[in-house]
């Protein structure tokens, strides 16, 4: 069934058949390399919930550095997933909110996050098994 999806895409002549998997030709890689970052999905999950300000996001994800928060937000904004709005308050505040494109991406993405939550135990079990065996 999963394979069916793959074959359908490949038979449809869409990109990323085994001949064009190199970067620059493959749209899937072009898009995924950005949302596959360590912090991207986390910030998308937060902003899918509701808009947040810079400092709120920083407190929400305690172990992100300001440097990476700035950079990841800018990358997500550049790819069109989130918007940035500056309010001229004192001190000025900046709000980040998800765009329609971002919501459209988050719909399938949220299912992966859901899977992660549901199958965490299986993954942890696999790790223990692997570490206890030969290669640990």
Catalog residues that contact DNA under the rule CB under 7 A.
Answer: 37-39, 53-55, 63-68, 70-71, 73, 84, 90-94
Kindly identify the residues of this chain, within the stretch 34-73, that bind a copy of itself according to CB under 8 A. 36-38, 40-42, 45, 48-49, 60-63
Contacts of residue 46, defined as CB under 8 A and 6 or more positions apart, other chains included, come to 52, 57, 60, 61
Shortest reach from residue 93's CB to a copy of itself, in Å: 19
Residue of 31, 25, 55, 57 lying closest to 109 (CA atoms): 31
- Contact between 17 and 68 under an 8 Å Cβ cutoff? The reply is no
Residue 119 binds which entry of DNA, a copy of itself, none, CB below 5-8 Å type-dependent: a copy of itself
User: What gap in Å lies between CA 63 and CA 80, rounded to an integer?
Assistant: 25
User: How would you classify residue 49: left for phi > 0, otherwise alpha for psi between -120 and 50, otherwise beta?
Assistant: alpha
List residues near a copy of itself by CB under 8 A. Answer: 1-3, 5-7, 9, 14-16, 18, 21-23, 27-33, 36-38, 40-42, 45, 48-49, 60-63, 74, 77-80, 101, 103-117, 119-120, 122-127, 129-131, 135
């Amino acid at each position: 069934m999963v394979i069916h999806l793959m074959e359908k895409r490949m038979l449809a002549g869409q990109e990323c058949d085994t001949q064009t998997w190199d970067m620059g030709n493959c749209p899937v890689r072009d898009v995924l390399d950005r949302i596959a970052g360590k912090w991207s999905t986390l910030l998308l999950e937060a902003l899918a919930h509701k808009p947040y300000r810079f400092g709120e996001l920083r407190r929400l994800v305690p172990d992100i550095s300001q440097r990476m928060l700035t950079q990841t937000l800018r990358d997500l904004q550049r790819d069109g997933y989130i918007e940035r709005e500056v309010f001229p308050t004192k001190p000025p505040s900046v709000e980040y909110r998800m765009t329609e494109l971002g919501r459209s991406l988050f719909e399938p993405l949220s299912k992966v996050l859901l899977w992660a939550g549901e199958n965490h135990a299986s993954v942890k079990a696999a790790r223990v098994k692997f570490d206890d065996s030969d290669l640990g």
